[in-house]
Every structure is written in structure tokens, then in C-alpha cells.
Amino acid sequence: MSGELSPQAAPSEQGYEGALRPSTLAEFVGQSKVRSQLGLLLDAATMRQHTPDHILLAGPPGLGKTTLSMIVAAELDKPLHQTSGPAIQHAGDLAAVLSALTPGEVLFVDEIHRMARSAEEMLYLAMEDFKVDIMVGKGAGATSVPLELAPFTLVGATTRAGLLPNPLRDRFGFTAHLEFYSDDELASVVRRAARLLDFGISEQGVEEIARRSRGTPRIANRLLRRVRDYSLVHETPGDTESVHAALALYDVDEHGLDRLDREVLRAVVERFSGGPVGLSTLAVSVGEEAETIEAVVEPFLVRAGLLTRTPRGRVATRLGWEHVGIVPPGAAGGAPALI
Ligand SMILES: Nc1ncnc2c1ncn2[C@@H]1O[C@H](COP(=O)(O)OP(=O)(O)OP(=O)(O)O)[C@@H](O)[C@H]1O
């Protein structure tokens, strides 16, 4: 198995990321509901010999959206064309991609919520009727020429499903909401990756990495690679001590919070007295993009019970205060106004 990951096959860390991707639905760990729903959709389409409905994958980064798009193409035995919303800035960019698709091809558009409006409108017709109208010429002499497309399946991925306009969202026949993974599921991801990387790690080491991976397979794989580096350089076994030492070096705390998670939580508690604080104010205060805070940091802090979102802004929970090492107001016997 480690032959797949030989230096020739994967000369870089990015290569390892790709090599660790499961390539079938059966190998894909967790998300059991999504797996069965997707499996049924693909099986039925194969039996009918039709292209399946368009698929929208929604959820925080690193939960397997790109991996699932590759699996969809592999299960259908069709080629995959990958692009992303930010790469489609004009309707013409999309027309070029769509007109080059072969029958049954799977088109993966990552960050689909960031596609240009003009392209979105072209996509509606393409998704529904496998047609686009191409504008030829300029000004008063411009004419629209209809162009037939090969039937294709669009797999759109978004970290912010709420930003998709309704007409686009409605044209997907199936929407999968990916959830954070449980510690047990992440332990399976780590075990599988360790086997592929040919790295001997104790069961306690696996569980410790799983616990600190913010519910996210990409992070689990990344932490495993850092522990593997640590063991190699320090000539230590892949045990809990190596996991603790490596993760301490990379600022991952015992709950899996990284530097940015802690900074956001600390800002809410220390600078805004626990909140409520608005997203943009919070983003400025930690010097990060509001979108990163909303899509990457918050979902995990909310899930970990450290932060809540209220109509008036973000509020640190009692656990959140305790996590940054500050006694919440009212905790010593006063009237607690905390969640
Ligand atoms: N269910 C899973 N089982 C095993 N490994 C997984 C699973 N999901 C994701 N991974 C691993 O996590 C890594 C990240 O997954 P992927 O790139 O598919 O996430 P993503 O949701 O597309 O993230 P982003 O939105 O940031 O592009 C992959 O390299 C893959 O090895």
C-alpha cells in the first residue's frame, strides 16, 4: 500500500493530501446519511443510464466536498472537470468550460457562491436544459446564438449555502449538508491515513489526534503528518507523548483549538466582555477576513459549545470563558447572565 505513496507518486505534502483521499463511497468514512443518499442517486442514474441530478455539497472546509466530487465521477466512471467560483468571473469563462464538457462529464465548481452573477444566470439554463445562449458581437449588432451542451452533472460545493441565490439552489436535485465528524469517525480517518503513510502509531495516539482535529478529516490528516515528522526527527515512537509534543509545537491545544480559534474566543471574552459582538467588528479586532471567521472558526467554536450566535452578535458561553482561563462574571455566586 505504501507504494502508492512512494516518492515518485507523491513528492510533496500536497501529493500526500491527494493520495489520502478515499476513491470510493465505501472507503469514505462517516457522513453515513449523505453516503446512502448519494449512493442511491448514483445507482438509480446508472440503472436508468441517465446523468444524475445536479448535486450541491454544503459544509465547512475540509469535510470532504472535493473528495466526494471525485468519488461521484469515479462511481459513474466519467471524467471530472474541476473549477471554482472565483475562476468564473464572466459568463464567457463559464461558456468555455461548459462547451468543452463531454457527455456525462462531472463538473465540480468549488466555492460556487463566489461565481459572477452573469455566469450564474447562464448556469440556470445550462443546468435545466443543457443549453447556453452565447452573445456574439457588441452593441446594437450583438446577437445571441443558442449552443447545445452535452448532458453533464454539476457538483457545486459551498461553505456558505445561505449566500446562493434561490434560483440556483433550487436547480440542484440533491443537497448534502456535511456535518463535522465524530471522534470515532476521525480515528478511522487517522488509522487509514497512518496505514497508507506506513507510519506506526499507537491506538491512544490515534485517538488523541482524532480528539484534537476540530471534527475535520483534513486537519486529522495534517496533524498525523506533523506527528509523523516529529517521530522521524526526534526518533520517538508514534505514541501519545509524541502526539502531545508535536501538537504543542504547532499550537494545537487539548480541545483542538488552533491559534486563530483561541484569538477569536479571547477577543470576544476580553475585548467585548463576552459579547454580543458583531461579526465584522470581531473580524477587524483579530485582523482576519469576516468570511474566514464565519465559515472556518465559528462553526467549530459553536459546535464545541464555546460560542453562540445570537441576533445581536456572537456571545461567549460559560465554557468559552473558562477555556480562555477567565472566571465568567457572576460565576462566584452573583447572578449569572451567561448562556
Ligand atoms: N470521509 C473521509 N474519509 C477519509 N478521508 C477524508 C474524508 N473526507 C475528507 N478526507 C480527507 O480530508 C482531506 C480534505 O478533504 P476535501 O479536500 O475533500 O475537503 P473539502 O470539503 O473539499 O475542503 P475545502 O472546502 O477546503 O476544499 C482529503 O485529502 C481527504 O484525504
The residue among 177, 193, 228 that closes a domain is 177
Q: For residues 231 and 312, state if they share a domain.
A: no
**CATH number for the domain harbouring residue 211:** 1.10.8.60
pLDDT surpasses 90 at 126: yes
Contact residues of ligand 1, CB 6 A cut-off = 17, 20-22, 28-30, 61-67, 110, 159, 189, 217-218, 221
Range of the domain at 128: 31-177
The residue among 249, 272, 293 that closes a domain is 249
Q: For residues 309 and 188, state if they share a domain.
A: no
272 is in an annotated binding site: no
Is residue 303 assigned to a domain? yes
80-96: pLDDT as tens digits: 999 999 999 999 999 99
**CATH number for the domain harbouring residue 283:** 1.10.10.10
Q: Is 110 a catalytic residue?
A: yes
The total domain count for the chain is 3
Is residue 4 assigned to a domain? no
Are 68 and 176 a contacting pair, CB within 8 Å? Answer: yes
Tell me which of 51, 153, 158, 159 is the catalytic residue. Answer: 159
ipTM over cut 0.85:
yes
d(CA 78, CA 106): 7
210-262: pLDDT as tens digits: 999 999 999 999 999 999 999 999 999 999 999 999 999 999 998 899 999 99
Is residue 15 assigned to a domain? no
**Ligand 1 centroid to 120 CA: how many Å?**
26
Closest ligand 1 atom to residue 21 Cα is 31
> Best of 55, 67, 113, 214 to mutate for ligand 1, by most ligand atoms within 8 A of CB?
67
Q: For residues 307 and 276, state if they share a domain.
A: yes
Q: For residues 199 and 264, state if they share a domain.
A: no
**CATH number for the domain harbouring residue 54:** 3.40.50.300
Q: Is 218 a catalytic residue?
A: yes
127-174: pLDDT as tens digits: 999 999 888 888 888 888 889 999 999 999 999 888 899 999 999 999
Q: Is 159 a catalytic residue?
A: yes
